[in-house]
């Protein structure tokens, strides 16, 4: 196992021990020891995560809020709550106001925002995830703070159906929770009008290339001046990352660039994975 993967694994073990509840951490560590040869062979800690997939887990998030996950929701928990991929580089989960979660999936980030105190718009293109998000919100006692929108995150003029993974008919047809027909587009300004949002405390974007529609070059991006923070996973196969980064800077943001391990990288790096944006 190369040094980078070893270092990441060691960091994950440490953060599981500090973020997961004692019971959940103990189950995970026991599973890790049991499946260590498999983890080494696959160069992944996912075999250890199966302990949570059988029993569920609870986590104290980096914001100090506690999230409880039933077993079916545990996939991605280590990345979300332990590795903290979305809120590195000084970003903070708001304790009030609004969070917009583009690419909500099962709702792990949305529920984290809600239990911290924010009102949340959970935007997800795959229709089958809506009841899962709502059930997780009820499970954590924050159903009144989580507002689910089944839609394709898009620009004001650029359609989310034409950029990224969901633009490919074959890929869309094989999604785990998608319906045969893609949902309608929705832009950030439309969401702000519908939910009467004056400012967005945090915008999280993880939409498999659709970020290049949300932040399209020929679109009206004046709404960015009403956003305090942006956490984005960028998918460089679907657009020009340096140009998108310049666009964010032109709209007043300092942009920090990181790889999957949280290390700083250049705009042109093939390892660029995350953007963390704060007003300059």
Q: Which residues of 169-196 are buried (b: 16+ CB within 10 A; e: fewer)?
A: eeebeebeebeeebbebbbbbebbeeee
pLDDT confidence of 62, banded at 50, 70, 90? confident
Note whether 195 and 272 are same-domain residues: yes
* pLDDT digits 0-9 by tens, 194-224: 999 999 999 999 999 999 999 999 899 999 9
Which of 83, 111, 140 is where one domain is finished?
83
Query: Of 83, 99, 123, which residue constitutes the final position of a domain?
Result: 83
pLDDT tens for each residue of 144-191: 999 999 999 999 999 999 999 999 999 999 999 998 999 999 999 999
Residues 205 and 236 in one domain: yes
pLDDT per residue over 23-32, tens digit each? 999 999 999 9
**What does pTM read for this prediction?**
0.95
The CA distance from 252 to 127, in Å, is 34
Same domain, 151 and 249: yes
Domain that holds residue 79: 1-83
Whether residues 145 and 222 fall in one domain: yes
Q: What is the pLDDT of residue 63?
A: 86
Is the pLDDT at 1 greater than 70, yes or no? no
Among 191, 209, 253, which residue's Cα sits nearest to residue 103?
Answer: 209
Domain count for the chain: 2
Indicate if 217 and 101 belong to the same structural domain: yes
- How far is it, in rounded angstroms, from Cα 200 to Cα 35? 43
Which residue's entry shows tokens 């689910």?
Answer: 148
Both 160 and 141 in one domain: the answer is yes
Which residues, at least 6 apart from 228, have a Cβ–Cβ distance to it below 8 Å? Answer: 94, 199, 200, 201, 202, 278, 279
Q: What is the mean pLDDT of the chain?
A: 95
- Both 19 and 93 in one domain: the answer is no
* Pair (17, 89) in one structural domain: no
Checking DSSP bridges between strand 57-60 and strand 98-102, what pairing results, if any? unpaired
Q: Are residues 134 and 254 in the same domain?
A: yes
CA distance 206 to 103: 5
pLDDT per position as a tens digit, 75-121: 999 999 999 999 988 999 999 999 999 999 999 999 999 999 999 99
* 220 and 113 part of one domain: yes
pLDDT band at 2 (very low <50, low <70, confident <90, very high): low
> Do 126 and 221 belong to one domain?
yes
| 66-69 vs 57-60, strand pairing mode | antiparallel
Q: What is the pLDDT of residue 17?
A: 96
Is there a single domain that holds both residue 77 and residue 93? no
């Amino acid at each position: 196992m190369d040094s980078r993967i070893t270092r990441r694994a060691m960091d994950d073990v440490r953060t599981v021990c500090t973020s997961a509840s004692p019971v959940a951490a103990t189950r995970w560590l026991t599973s890790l020891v049991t499946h260590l040869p498999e983890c080494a062979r696959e160069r992944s800690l996912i075999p250890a995560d199966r302990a949570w997939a059988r029993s569920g887990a609870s986590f104290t998030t980096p914001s100090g809020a506690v999230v409880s996950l039933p077993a079916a929701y545990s996939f991605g928990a280590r990345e979300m709550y332990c590795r903290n991929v979305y809120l590195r580089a000084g970003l903070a989960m708001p304790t009030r106001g609004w969070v917009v979660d583009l690419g909500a999936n099962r709702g792990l980030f949305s529920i984290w925002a809600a239990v911290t105190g924010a009102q949340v718009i959970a935007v997800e293109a795959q229709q089958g995830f809506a009841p899962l998000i709502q059930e997780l919100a009820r499970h954590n006692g924050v159903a009144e703070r989580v507002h689910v929108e089944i839609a394709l995150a898009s620009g004001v003029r650029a359609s989310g159906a034409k950029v990224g993974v969901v633009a490919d008919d074959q890929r869309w047809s094989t999604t785990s929770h998608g319906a045969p027909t893609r949902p309608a587009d929705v832009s950030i300004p439309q969401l702000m009008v519908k939910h009467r949002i004056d400012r967005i405390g945090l915008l999280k974007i993880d939409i498999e290339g659709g970020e290049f529609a949300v932040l399209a070059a020929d679109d009206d991006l004046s709404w960015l001046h009403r956003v305090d923070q942006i956490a984005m996973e960028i998918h460089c196969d679907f657009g020009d990352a340096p140009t998108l980064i310049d666009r964010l800077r032109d709209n007043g943001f300092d942009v920090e660039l990181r790889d999957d391990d949280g290390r700083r990288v250049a705009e042109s790096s093939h390892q660029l994975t995350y953007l963390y944006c704060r007003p300059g």
